[in-house]
Amino acid sequence: MPDSSFERAQGGNLLRREPGISAVQQVYEDVRHQIINLTLEPGTTISKNQVAQKYGISPTPVREAMLRLGEEGLVNILPQSRTSVSLIDIQQAREIHFLRLSVEVEVVRVLAKSIEKPGVDELKAWIHRQSTELKAGDQSAFKLADNHFHEEMFEQAGVQGLMRLLDTRRGHYDRIRGLFLMVQVRRKTVIKEHRAIVAALESGDETAAEAAVRKHLGKSLAIVDDIRDRYPSYFL
């Protein structure tokens, strides 16, 4: 199991607080981002006191943030003992993938009937952003643009609340996808598949749009055994 720590992942400087955001929310968002992007590896011990010191806050909001992450299954909290980043649960990843695929198929079916040129242009803009981040070699920014592409589809279909709901349960799936995307050729494939989705939407082809989404979303879990073999200490 990795022996990395929050302190080492963060470096030695005091972290800047964002104005207008509560301490609980910022710690939650920052630590969650690091877990999802594997900056904090599965099994990493998180010292609440270290986190509090990094933000210049009391331990209370840190505890609240950790409780939220615990509810999402991203950290394990042992009272009076330790808090650590949870190992990746493949079964939970499969379940959220099943749910997301079911919803996103309906999203593209709706969009194939209703999307207009400004909506298509917005999706293409996110694909262009992914291409930029691919060339820059910024995997974290690439994943963020990837997420925005899908969020944009949900928003245009009028069900953006469903994406927010999925976000609170997709931590295990997202970490597997992050490991999947560490290989550059796979990131190139993601861009190609996004273009196929948009082409189907632009032509109003519901069947092609559904097929493109099914092909796109199934990749990482299709090779999850290979990913687990490469990173055995990350998984349950």
Tens digit of each residue's pLDDT (9 = 90 or more) over 18-65: 667 799 999 999 999 999 999 999 999 999 999 999 989 999 999 999
Token digits for 122?
A: 């917005």
State mean pLDDT over 108-134: 97
Start-end of CATH 1.20.120.530 domains in the chain: 90-234
pLDDT tens string 202-235: 999 999 999 999 999 988 888 999 999 999 999 9
Counting Cα atoms < 13 Å in the Cβ hemisphere of 78 gives 9
Query: What pLDDT score does 44 carry?
Result: 96
DSSP string covering 80-148: TTEEEEPPB-HHHHHHHHHHHHHHHHHHHHHHHHH--HHHHHHHHHHHHHHHHHHHHT-HHHHHHHHHH
Start-end of CATH 1.10.10.10 domains in the chain: 6-85
90-234 — its CATH code?
Answer: 1.20.120.530
Q: What share of the chain is helix, strand, coil (3-state, %, to 5)?
A: 70, 5, 25
pLDDT tens string 62-119: 999 999 999 999 999 998 789 999 999 999 999 999 999 999 999 999 999 999 999 9
Distance (Å, whole) CA 26 – CA 121: 32
User: Is the domain defined by 6-85 classed in CATH 2.60.40.1180?
Assistant: no
